[in-house]
Amino acid sequence: MSIQSNEILETVKMVADQNFDVRTITIGIDLHDCISSDINELNQNIYNKITTVGKDLVATAKHLSAKYGVPIVNQRISVTPIAQIAAATKAGSYVSIAQTLDKAAKAIGVSFIGGFSALVQKGMSPADEILIRSIPEAMKTTDIVCSSINIGSTRAGINMDAVKLAGETIKRTAEITPEGFGCAKIVVFCNAVEDNPFMAGAFHGSGEADAVINVGVSGPGVVKAALENSNAATLTEVAEVVKKTAFKITRVGELIGHEASKILNIPFGILDLSLAPTPAVGDSVARILEAMGLSVCGTHGTTAALALLNDAVKKGGMMASSAVGGLSGAFIPVSEDEGMIAAAEAGILTLDKLEAMTAVCSVGLDMIAVPGDTPAHTISGIIADEAAIGMINSKTTAVRIIPVTGKTVGESVEFGGLLGYAPIMPVKEGSCEVFVNRGGRIPAPVQSMKN
């Protein structure tokens, strides 16, 4: 055996003390072959396909977790955006499809199913609009279905009609689900990627194979511990430590992805090498930034620290796997990150700073609770701002925001489990109502003359 004992102990420590885990094994399933003009038949086809393709996923994850001694926290399914599948039915609501997804996902024991989605960056088909209008009821009557809307891209611009509708959809969902919880399962994207295994934004893109395995690894605690135990002094050295650590954790994901692929006989798609936090102490992206030398996440320097972190994670991960994809980088969901929660409670991490941070992070404004009386057009304005950052900078951005009905700044909301809890953050005074109501499309940006 050529492995040194200190290397073995390092690995054991990562799992035992530093919350290292494989966050998810997700099977992406194409549903195009389920299409039928009869919605009942469509539902039956969808149920059959998901429960057939995904039936061994949970058992396989358990087996691999035992074999390698690394927790595999979630098993999930992502499917073709349902608006594309349901268009032939002429149904006026797609809620029954969401319920089918819920039932199928529960039957095979996965924790989430994503893909109750519409891609409307350039225009909305009638099916897309029916889907978006079905979201509030779908979120209310299902437990583990996740929904996403792609409202913009660098090539298409931003579909402001869709942005307006998305704001109203989020507001409506908040009103009819307890504590706005339904909104935790809705993501509004700009430049959505088609192979992302992370909820709530996972869906199976149309350029993908019939079924594919995507793996998401995570390890904020490991990176923080590596930084604290290193004698890195300069930021160049800090970047080097992050890079090496990202390499190691990505290799585990790669190993488990390939093994799962072999056992399930489904091709290995991508490895998403993101640092995804959890509410557990010691598993926080904010605490990594603070370990670099910030007294609290959200103070000046945070955006720079996050840029360094995000880039170093990508560099380490790229070397570790030939199939890097998804969102890959650092996530900054407020309610799911113990350090972010603390910084927001202290009033130092604000919506403004978060927006700036999203210009350099992996996704965007994530799991942010705002007052319940926030108007729909303000939510649309927040979505438009975030989409603009993604569109201009050719990167993925997203908004997952929860207007918590009946609550206001100074209170907090508890979602439980991996979704954590969040202080209600203030939104800006002033109105963007006229701007949002104009509708139309913000044209795609010029790609030369970058500035």
- For the CB of residue 3, give the shortest distance to other proteins in the complex, in Å: 5
DSSP 340-389: HHHHHHTT-S-HHHHHHHTTTSSS-EEEEEEETT--HHHHHHHHHHHHHH
| CB nearer other proteins, residue 17 or residue 41 | 17
- For the CB of residue 10, give the shortest distance to other proteins in the complex, in Å: 8
- For the CB of residue 256, give the shortest distance to other proteins in the complex, in Å: 9
Beta bridge partners of 442: 158
| CB nearer other proteins, residue 57 or residue 199 | 57
Q: Cα separation of 115 and 50, whole Å?
A: 12
| CB nearer other proteins, residue 208 or residue 254 | 254
- For the CB of residue 242, give the shortest distance to other proteins in the complex, in Å: 16
Residues forming contacts to other proteins in the complex (CB under 8 A) are 1-5, 7-9, 11-12, 15-16, 62-63, 66-70, 248, 251-252, 254-255
- For the CB of residue 123, give the shortest distance to other proteins in the complex, in Å: 45
Please give the structure tokens belonging to residue 167: 């704001």
DSSP 180-216: GGGGGGEEEEES--SS--SSSS----TTS-SEEEEEE
Q: Cα separation of 36 and 421, whole Å?
A: 41
Q: E strand or H helix at 403, and its extent?
A: strand 397-404
- Which is nearest to 198 in space by CA: 21, 314, 334, 78? 78
First to last CA, the chain: 53
| CB nearer other proteins, residue 63 or residue 103 | 63
CA dihedral 178, 181, 187, 220 (to 10 degrees): 170
Q: Cα separation of 445 and 391, whole Å?
A: 7
Residue written as tokens 């700073």? 353
- For the CB of residue 68, give the shortest distance to other proteins in the complex, in Å: 5
- For the CB of residue 18, give the shortest distance to other proteins in the complex, in Å: 14
Q: Cα separation of 114 and 5, whole Å?
A: 41
| CB nearer other proteins, residue 14 or residue 357 | 14
| CB nearer other proteins, residue 255 or residue 392 | 255
* 127 neighbors 83 (Cβ within 8 angstroms): yes
| Helix (DSSP H) and strand (DSSP E) numbers for the chain | 15, 13
- For the CB of residue 219, give the shortest distance to other proteins in the complex, in Å: 12
| CB nearer other proteins, residue 114 or residue 257 | 257
296, with CB counted inside 10 A (0-12, 13-18, 19+), is middle
- For the CB of residue 270, give the shortest distance to other proteins in the complex, in Å: 17
| CB nearer other proteins, residue 196 or residue 250 | 250
Please give the structure tokens belonging to residue 317: 């991960």
